[in-house]
């Protein structure tokens, strides 16, 4: 039931039904929320599959089955946050292991690797640009244990050649981890391209309504089953479990994931084209969206993404002062971190999501002070375009 094949239901159908049957007790069409922490045992060594909710909870198991199905995974674990999922994945490694991570991974992942696990687990982390094949090749060592990347990356939307990274990792038997948060399994299916583990901040597109923190780790059916088993063991051992009410909220959100993603991506494409065609007039020096032919890796994005997603990055004339004014003057794009919700957001990576990076690192990555990142929501595209037109043309596009 977890492998995609021609006779399987489509993604839209599985988003609604995967892992879910009407409740055998009452016929409820929606999965019940089991808040019980403990379950009555029928005798010594006898129970109905549940003992204590950290080890297994009926609501969480349904969500995990649905997530695994949508991602094409053998197993998925539902964690309280994206970082908790990331943290649990890193527990697969032995202390002192060599990890290669994409140079512009999400700020919180950078912090976890560089400021926490380097110290507490002795992880030896090399940061390289994964969209440069030679850099990846040069960084791999015979003892490399894990390659960790995001594609498209944040905030510059660099596209990583997933098949190439997988091929390099396999030469030394390293695990590959792809943070698929920016795409969701609707836009990109890394496990089908040979990646071992997909992680998500389900806080973003998977939940999509900015009212939940949640994380997911999903293991490929083609990866040694011992990895999935170990991840489940670690989820229980470290207590990285999503609570049942959050599980139910996320399960409901998944039902509209395909609808939302289709609208997100359609809006983003129309907005990117509008901004691109009016770059000079609107004072935009650089516009980045993987769906635009002008994106340096557009061909690669077309090959490996089923849809280009909803994130757009733009660099403006007038430096930080104008970037700030534009961000504040937008009416529908709320000035806030995070992404993937039904409402549109705008943020300033240099002072918000990427403030954790040392200034010279931000400079090196191109996270400049005139850069704004848009998370395009599912409002009517005409309203969003009008908002951007007013905001950008109203604030001195010199």
Ligand X SMILES: *Cc1c(COP(=O)(O)O)cnc(C)c1O
Q: Which stretches of the chain bind ligand X, using CB under 6 A?
A: 81-83, 106, 108-109, 150, 154, 179, 181-182, 201, 203-204, 213, 215
* Cα(92)–Cα(227) distance, integer angstroms: 8
Active site residue 111: no
- Specify the residue for token string 């959050």: 246
Pick 63 or 284: Cβ nearer ligand X? 63
Exactly one of 69, 179, 196, 387 is catalytic; which is it? 179
Pick 34 or 333: Cβ nearer ligand X? 333
Q: Give 150's strand partners.
A: 179
| Least distance CB 96 / ligand X (angstroms) | 24
Pick 106 or 308: Cβ nearer ligand X? 106
Is there a contact between 340 and 309 (Cβ–Cβ < 8 Å)? Answer: no
| Least distance CB 85 / ligand X (angstroms) | 8
Q: Give 127's strand partners.
A: 101
| Residues 6 or more apart in contact with residue 289 via CB below 8 angstroms | 157, 268, 269, 272, 276, 295, 308, 311, 312, 313
Exactly one of 60, 69, 104, 106 is catalytic; which is it? 106
Q: Which long-range contacts (CB under 8 A, 24 or more apart) does 298-302 make?
A: 300/159, 300/161, 301/152, 301/159
| Least distance CB 220 / ligand X (angstroms) | 19
Is there a contact between 164 and 194 (Cβ–Cβ < 8 Å)? Answer: no
| Least distance CB 347 / ligand X (angstroms) | 11
- Tell me which residue has its CB nearest to ligand X: 82
Q: Taking the CA of residue 309 as centre, how many other CA atoms within 13 Å lie in the half-sphere pointing to its CB?
A: 33
Active site residue 255: no
Paired tokens of 247: 């599980």
Q: Give the closest residue to 160 by CA, choosing from 297, 348, 325, 349.
A: 297
- Specify the residue for token string 């990890």: 99
> In which region does residue 6 sit, left (phi positive, over 0), alpha (psi from -120 to 50) or beta (all else)?
alpha
| Least distance CB 203 / ligand X (angstroms) | 4
* Cα(277)–Cα(288) distance, integer angstroms: 13
Pick 85 or 123: Cβ nearer ligand X? 85
Pick 83 or 139: Cβ nearer ligand X? 83
| Residues 6 or more apart in contact with residue 382 via CB below 8 angstroms | none
Pick 83 or 378: Cβ nearer ligand X? 83
Pick 181 or 278: Cβ nearer ligand X? 181
Q: Give the closest residue to 348 by CA, choosing from 382, 318, 323.
A: 323
Active site residue 204: yes
Exactly one of 4, 54, 279, 302 is catalytic; which is it? 54
| Least distance CB 323 / ligand X (angstroms) | 20
* Cα(164)–Cα(193) distance, integer angstroms: 10
Is there a contact between 147 and 174 (Cβ–Cβ < 8 Å)? Answer: yes
| Least distance CB 311 / ligand X (angstroms) | 10
Pick 276 or 343: Cβ nearer ligand X? 343
* Cα(257)–Cα(276) distance, integer angstroms: 28
What value does the CA radius of gyration of the chain take, rounded to a whole number of Å? 21
In angstroms, the Cα distances linking 34 to 101, 181, 238, 353 are 38, 27, 21, 35
Exactly one of 60, 204, 260, 322 is catalytic; which is it? 204
| Least distance CB 108 / ligand X (angstroms) | 5
Catalytic residues: 54, 106, 179, 204
């Amino acid at each position: 039931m977890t492998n995609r094949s021609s006779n399987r239901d489509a993604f839209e159908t599985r988003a609604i039904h995967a892992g879910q049957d009407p409740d055998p007790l009452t016929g409820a069409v929606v999965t019940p929320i089991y808040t019980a922490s403990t379950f009555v045992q029928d005798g010594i060594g006898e129970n109905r599959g549940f003992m204590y909710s950290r080890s297994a909870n009926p609501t969480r198991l349904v969500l995990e089955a649905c997530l695994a199905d949508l991602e094409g995974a053998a197993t998925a674990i539902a964690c309280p946050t994206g970082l908790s999922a990331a943290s649990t994945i890193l527990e697969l490694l032995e202390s002192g292991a060599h990890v290669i991570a994409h140079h512009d991974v999400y700020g919180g992942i950078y912090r976890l690797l560089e400021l926490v696990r380097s110290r507490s687990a002795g992880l030896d982390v090399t940061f390289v640009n994964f969209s440069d094949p030679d850099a990846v090749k040069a960084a791999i060592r015979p003892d490399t244990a894990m390659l960790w990347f995001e594609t498209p990356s944040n905030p510059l939307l660099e596209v990583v050649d997933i098949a190439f990274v997988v091929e390099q990792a396999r030469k030394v038997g390293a695990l590959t981890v792809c943070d698929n948060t920016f795409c969701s399994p609707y836009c990109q299916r890394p496990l089908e391209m040979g990646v071992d583990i997909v992680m998500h901040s389900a806080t973003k597109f998977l939940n999509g309504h900015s009212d939940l923190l949640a994380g997911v780790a999903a293991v490929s059916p083609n990866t040694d089953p011992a990895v999935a088993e170990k991840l489940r063991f670690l989820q229980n051992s470290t207590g990285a479990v999503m609570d049942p009410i959050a599980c139910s909220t996320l399960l409901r959100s998944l039902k509209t994931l395909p609808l939302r993603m289709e609208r997100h991506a359609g809006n983003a494409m129309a907005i990117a084209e509008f901004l691109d065609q009016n770059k000079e007039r609107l004072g935009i020096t650089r516009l980045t969206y993987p769906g635009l032919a002008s994106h340096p890796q557009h061909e690669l994005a077309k090959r490996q993404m089923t849809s280009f997603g909803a994130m757009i990055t733009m660099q403006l004339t007038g430096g930080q002062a104008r970037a700030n004014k534009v961000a504040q003057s937008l009416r529908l794009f709320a000035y806030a971190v995070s992404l993937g919700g039904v409402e549109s957001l705008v943020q300033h990576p240099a002072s918000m999501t990427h403030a954790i990076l040392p200034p010279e690192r931000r400079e090196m990555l191109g996270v400049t002070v005139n850069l704004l990142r848009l998370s395009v929501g599912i409002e009517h595209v005409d309203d969003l375009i009008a908002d951007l037109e007013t905001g950008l043309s109203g604030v001195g596009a010199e």
